[in-house]
Amino acid sequence: MKVKAPGRVNIIGEHTDYNDGYVLPFAINRYVEVEIEDSEFYRFYSETLNECIELRELHKTGTWVDYIIGVIFSFENRGYKIPPISVKINSNLPIGGGLSSSAALEVATAFAISKKFGFDIPNFEMVNVAREAEMNFVGVKCGIMDQFVSIYSRKDFAIFLDTKTLDFKYIPLRLMGYEMYIINSKVKHELSFSEYNVRKEECEKILAVLGKRSFRELKRSDLNLLSGFLKKRAQHVIEENERVLSAVEQLIKGNFKKLGELLYESHESLRYLYEVSCDETDFIVEYLKAKEGILGARMIGGGFGGSVLVLAEVDRFGTIINSLIENYYEKFGIELEYYKIESSDGVSIL
């Protein structure tokens, strides 16, 4: 049984999905492929990493294999029995690039297992199987967006998702005259894992201080009751939700100039209010902001490295990227990677 699941780009709505907020992602044409076969013991092989891990009994390993083991435990917690399997993985999604390679791996694994063993599980429950693997086993306090998008996406559409109610709408992604690119900073700072969970805890503290159950109950006037970094975190979430609503409107209208401005605003907020950016992604965004034909750019993903999303006029990015690569290498000694991205359908059987 062989399955592929896509990574995702979140146009806007960063660090809002675990705060009952709005997000506007779409799946991209880069994938994790998972092939499952019967085996006498557990065997996990990554063609991408050229690494094989074999286990007689499942346990936490502290490696990429934990995303797969977490999925198996999620199924078993629901009463399903999974015999030892051999799992082969291939991917053209950059690891640590902020494109949700972990969720794609979880979703592809979950679908491959369910199809191979005949588990009759609806798509939404599959979202929970994959998410619980990351939350409860790997230990990342993630929201629901990444796994949801990897399953529900449609080509040529973004998903406007309300993570509080889980209502969603497909928003046409008509980029006529424009293109989207991903620039991988090629860095992932050690802070990324721990600080992500810290931000989640800070947001929980904000609700406790204000006596609220959800960030959706917060108003701008509530910011006056907060101070220091808690006020900054709350301000980001409130304003980022507003930006998502505006971005949906701009996509429908085809107003890409305004959409680009929202991307820059989002990056500034992530940099100065939520404080999850880093020198490398800040450099990329500031460099692009000064160039004609680049409408917007922002860091995407959890932060402290990863990738930058770029919205550009057709044929303008190619005249800029080589000089950015040179300047970035001169400053940081790192060679950038970049990809033109297109939308994609969600998980599928190969």
Judge contact between 222 and 207, C-beta under 8 A: no
| Nearest Cα residue to 244 out of 12, 52, 32, 50 | 12
Which parts of the chain register pLDDT below 50?
none
Residue 70 phi, psi (nearest 5): -60, -40
Is 237:215 a contact under the CB 8 Å cutoff?
Answer: yes
Nearest-angstrom CA–CA distance, 76 and 51:
26
Q: How far is Cα 286 from Cα 264, in angstroms, rounded to an integer?
A: 9
| Cα–Cα separations (whole angstroms), residue 42 to 55, 69, 82, 138, 274 | 5, 10, 11, 18, 41
Q: Rounded CA gap, 313 and 322, in Å?
A: 17
Alpha helices, DSSP H only, in the chain?
A: 65-77, 101-116, 123-132, 145-152, 191-210, 228-253, 256-272, 279-289, 321-332
Of 121, 146, 172, which one is at a domain's C-terminal end? 172
Among candidates 83, 80, 86, which has minimal Cα distance to 54?
A: 86
Contact 178, 296 (CB under 8 A): no
> Do residue 144 and residue 230 come from a single domain?
no
Please indicate, yes or no, if residue 350 is contained in any of the structural domains: no
305, 280 Cβ separation under 8 angstroms: yes
CATH number for 281: 3.30.70.890
Same domain, 182 and 331: yes
User: Is the four-CA dihedral 160, 165, 166, 169 of positive or negative sign?
Assistant: negative
**Residue finishing a domain among 172, 207, 231:** 172
Catalytic residue IDs: 146
Q: Same domain, yes or no, for 166 and 17?
A: yes
- Tell me how far CA of residue 229 lies from CA of 127, 214, 232, 272, 283, in angstroms: 32, 19, 5, 10, 23
Model confidence pLDDT, tens digit, residues 214-223 = 999 999 999 9
Residue 216: phi, psi to the nearest 5?
A: -70, -15
Q: In Å, what is the CA distance from 18 to each residue of 139, 186, 248, 276?
A: 14, 26, 20, 15
| In a shared domain, residues 8 and 138 | yes
In sequence order, the 6+-apart residues with CB closer than 8 A to the CB of 348 are 3, 4
The residue out of 120, 141, 172 marking a domain boundary is 172
How many domains is the chain built from? Answer: 2
Give 212-261 pLDDT, tens digit per residue: 999 999 999 999 999 999 999 999 999 999 999 999 999 999 999 999 99
pLDDT at 173: 96
Q: Are residues 163 and 184 in the same domain?
A: no
DSSP 152: H
Query: Of the candidates 199, 207, 201, 198, which has an alpha carbon nearest to the alpha carbon of residue 226?
Result: 207
Within a domain: 13: yes
84 and 182 in a single domain? The answer is no
My answer on whether 255 and 269 are in the same domain is yes
Residues 156 and 266 in one domain: no
Q: What is the pLDDT of residue 99?
A: 86
Domain enclosing residue 11, as ranges = 2-172
In this prediction, residue 189 carries a pLDDT of 74
CB burial string 298-337: b at 16+ within 10 A, e below: bbbbbbbbbbbbbbbeeebbeebbeebbeebeeeeeeebe
Q: How far is CA 24 from the centre of its chain?
A: 11
CA torsion 236-242-248-249 (nearest 10°) is -140
Residues 159 and 182 in one domain: no
**Is residue 191 in some structural domain?**
yes
